[in-house]
Structure 1
Amino acid sequence: MTLAAYQEAFARMVLSPALCLRARSEGEPAFSGFAMDAVERARLLHIAHQRGMRITCILARANRLSSLVGALPLSCELLKPQLAELVDRYWENTPMADLQALPAGLAFARYLDLEIRAGRVVNRFAIDVLRYERAWLELQLCTHTGSSRDGDELVRELAFEFDPRPLFEALASGKPVPEMLPDRPTTIDFDFRSDPPQTRFHHPVVKSPNDADQVNEMP
């Protein structure tokens, strides 16, 4: 028996419910992409029709979704009306993705970035919220893996044409996104050289050249 192919097909059927649904509707041809023999395909087809398979898929989906929401809570909240469609498409293309929060979050962030740039995600704040959370995850991963050789690699600066803080606060509390945001350029500094990391919002003051920038820290 081609055990590796059988195990991969079974795992994909659990982690990507679309394959399980295809098996139920198409029969053994749904497994044509796997190098298995007739006995293995018949076994998987029998498993796909078992009543407990639905619960197994639901639990696996919830586990995978919790990793994504934990890593990208603001983006997931913002894209909630479209999130089910996005994760279904993502898991269909990458059914064996890492389930750990940081790698899973960064992989999904890269996928969302491509979807936004392709015009399949049209929320006007999607790219701004995503790059904020993606920068945080990248720095967090760098800290956890100890891959930084230079302290400067643990510092990141993001520039916005507006003040995004009311947007982030609304998403974090599950409130509606404000229709209007403060129209003032804002720079966010991430500093992961300390524990806990520091996040600072800078609002340039234009009263006079001698005035200092306003700085607020994200709680």
Structure 2
Amino acid sequence: MARRTKEEAAATRDSILDAAEKLFVEQGVSRTTLQHIATAAGVTRGAIYWHFDDKGALFNAMMERAILPLEAEMQVLDQVESDDPLVDLRNHMLAVLDRTVNDPGARRVFEIATLKVEFVGEMDAVRQRRKDNMANWMARAERRIRLAIDKGLISRDIDASRVALGLWTMIDGLIRNWMFDPQDFDLLALGKCVIDPYLEGLRSGRG
């Protein structure tokens, strides 16, 4: 009986998160109340509060459930170490774009997190999560850039932190603009057109 109750609680939690994800996409986070979510999930507001402290906690649980493209591919990047750190970085960035296009669940949650939320009040924790993710990605990118400097692939005059910030702005901006209308351009093709010249420009200035 205890196991059944635990499984039922997990099923209820998932149904709440499923309902929240659907409503957040359709009407945005700020316009979606816990009552809206409870009604869509077929539960009471009390059931929601049993699982989550507030809407911010519910939102973060939804984010944790779906690993976003940037986060998933960061784990892959940590496991790759070739003779050319810039190639590793390029492949990682293109893999992020590819996962964004081909993983509907991750793409949906990324859309909510970037286009359907205001970072105020109880949702401020989401802003902090995004800030932490950016810092984690920047640290990994800077490490690869410094390795490229050490190997003589790019100039020692290069500021690794600025290059990493440029790459972050590039990939984040590409995904955000593609989210507005996925039919407007081929995300992966345009990504190659933008990322490759940037990285090759770093190589051409070595010395």
Higher strand share: 1
Same fold (TM over 0.5): no
| Structure number with higher relative contact order (C-alpha < 8 Å, ≥ 6 residues apart) | 2
Q: Larger radius of gyration, structure 1 or 2? A: 1
TM-score, with length taken from structure 1: 0.28
Higher helix share: 2
